[in-house]
Amino acid sequence: MDSYHPSAKLRSEHADALVVHCSDHRLQGVLQEFLNNGLKLSGNYDVLAIPGGPQCLTLVEYLPKFSWASGKWFRFLIEKHDLKRLILIAHQDCGWYHELPFHLFGSTDPRTRQEDDLRRARRTLTSQFPQVRVDLFYVAWDADLRVVIEPVAG
């Protein structure tokens, strides 16, 4: 391949938020649309895209080194970019959750487990970074692959 020259220029603004979501390829297009058009972030956000997304922060006992490394990435971005808003996103049929032992969870319902994890991650983050606002979302779809992204309450 020859050199590629994007039409877009490098951004010079400060990031407004940190978005943390799963690396699952199926979601990337709908998430970018949601973040840019739904939340009106206009591409002005840092991203952590890792398997299971923000669930990484809840693994203190099960995978402590993984949890520790995740915490370092969050701290680096929040402090380095002086971020005031975090957006944590979980999704239906997340392959990462298929790999986790069930005893880690208080519910057998997949969506409830993931929403509980989002709330746990928010508690962890707001205790460490009281200056940040943490918004939670869940991505679901129907049999025709029509997607809905809903805020997670609580």
Note the residues at the interface with Zn ion (CB under 5 A).
22, 24, 94, 96
Exposed, middle or buried by CB within 10 Å (0-12, 13-18, 19+), for 4? Answer: exposed
CB nearer Zn ion, residue 15 or residue 100: 100
- Minimum distance from CB of 33 to Zn ion (Å)? 18
DSSP state of 149: E
CB nearer Zn ion, residue 55 or residue 124: 55
CA distance 120 to 48: 18
- Minimum distance from CB of 21 to Zn ion (Å)? 8
Strand partners, 137: 89, 151
- Minimum distance from CB of 13 to Zn ion (Å)? 29
- Minimum distance from CB of 20 to Zn ion (Å)? 12
Exposed, middle or buried by CB within 10 Å (0-12, 13-18, 19+), for 49? Answer: middle
- Minimum distance from CB of 96 to Zn ion (Å)? 5
CB nearer Zn ion, residue 79 or residue 150: 150
CB nearer Zn ion, residue 15 or residue 137: 137
CB nearer Zn ion, residue 44 or residue 51: 51
What is the DSSP secondary-structure string of 81-96? TT--EEEEEEETT-HH
Laid out side by side, the sheet with 147-151 consists of 45-49, 17-21, 85-91, 133-141, 147-151
